[in-house]
Structure 1
Amino acid sequence: MDALGWILVVVLFAVGMAGAIFPILPGVLAVYGAFFVYGLFFGFGEFGFWFWLLQTSIVAALLIADYVVNAWGVKKFGGSRASVIGSTIGIIAGPFVIPGVGLIVGPFLGAWIGELLAGADMKQATRAGLGALVGFLSSTVVKLVLQTIMIALFIVWIIAN
């Protein structure tokens, strides 16, 4: 049973890291779920108040930052609310509509279309699209770094206790 527990934990970590790049996957929630799987298989004794406080704070920060960083990128490049909404739709739909490159093209096209629908000219729509792309890529880096920290904290906590 120990092997099954560790396999599930590692699979959830892998899904979590893939979710930092592919927004359709649960990302940070998979990493957080791995802690509960570990606890169910091996006990929650190693985890105390500080572990859960740190990990839950990172999860909350990631969930908030995911939207804020993307919106920041669009706004920084002069995009409107319509381009933020379009970018969000593009992030989710892009990989399905344009397999292979949709993950990168989706946020750009979503913001670009949203901005055009809001009445902006082509130059402004293109700037908003670039901002969406910058925001998406920045958000991905932030997620990768913070989720790596979550996993490292877990490993250190298990080894230390």
Structure 2
Amino acid sequence: MGDGKTIFTPSYGAPYVLGLDGVRRPASLEDFRNFTKLNHLSPALHMSGGVVCEPMDVPVPKRHLYMTQSLLTYSSKPFMGAVTSMERAEDSLHMAGIVFGQDAVRDTTVMTCLANGNTPLVWDKTMLDSVRVFAGANQATLFSPFVLGGASTPASTVGRSSRSTSKP
């Protein structure tokens, strides 16, 4: 990764999956693990992901631990750490330290995190606290101006673009 090359990652945050039986249902930890394994095997994807689906069968306070454990167990590709709280970001770093060694995590970028802002150009404390944790540990951060066309911004491309890049 790096050197000006584009990388491809799996989708992010889907709360539902479509089973082989054609039935839409809430995503589970088993789904998360299966998607992680598939992502690992795909030569078109350069990262194993972060929240490849939202395992709704795992309680929220512990969900990030199960997801990070799965990403570290079922793939050798880079992954995204948890950003939903400062403590969860620290958990991601600690778990990576167990796998790669604390020195390697301190000296090498072993994961990324995805920070989503709110429109217009607003970054909440939780997200920024997580970014500080990852940056302080020499880990990469991806910044994304998260917008929902027709919900948090106008539906048109011009309206969406102008709203997401304007001053608050």
TM over 0.5: no
- The structure with the largest helix share of the pair is 1
TM-score norm. by structure 1 comes to: 0.23
| Greater strand content | 2
Name which structure has the greater RCO, CA cutoff 8 Å, separation 6+. Answer: 1
